[in-house]
Amino acid sequence: MPLTVYMHNSGGAVHGGILATLIDSAMGSLINRSLSPAEYAVTTELKINYLRPGKGKRLRAEATFLHRGQTLVVMESTVYDERNKRVAHGTGTFIVLKK
């Protein structure tokens, strides 16, 4: 994700809400790409650990499955800076619904 000055907090680092959105989006995109066209998933719980200030020109998020049930899916995601340092880590629970 490319960063702009509008994403920074008063301390000059990326705002925590932006990091949370990036984590949630990475996990949501991964799970929704894996479902059938008749299904979709939404977040039911999200936990974020902020590890260091997010700085630089861009951040990268990676997501993985921790548990995949028929209805509930638990995932994790990590945000990295340009130096490949961990900036934030999150876990989320998603519910799978029918369209």
pLDDT, tens digit (0-9, with 9 covering 90-100), for 64-95: 999 999 999 999 999 999 999 999 999 999 99
Query: What average pLDDT does range 11-30 have in this prediction?
Result: 96
* CATH code, 82: 3.10.129.10
Average pLDDT, the chain: 96
pLDDT, tens digit (0-9, with 9 covering 90-100), for 41-51: 999 999 999 99
The pLDDT of residue 26: 98
Residues 78, 40 contacting (CB under 8 angstroms): no
Domain count within the chain: 1
Give CA separation, 31 vs 2, 6, 15, 17, 78, in Å: 23, 29, 25, 21, 15
Range of the domain at 77: 5-98
Q: What angle do CA 52, 28, 49 make, to 5 degrees?
A: 20
Give CA separation, 53 vs 25, 79, 86, in Å: 20, 11, 9
Rounded-to-integer distance, Cα 82 and Cα 71, Å? 36
pTM of structure? 0.93
* Helix H or strand E encompassing 40: strand 39-50
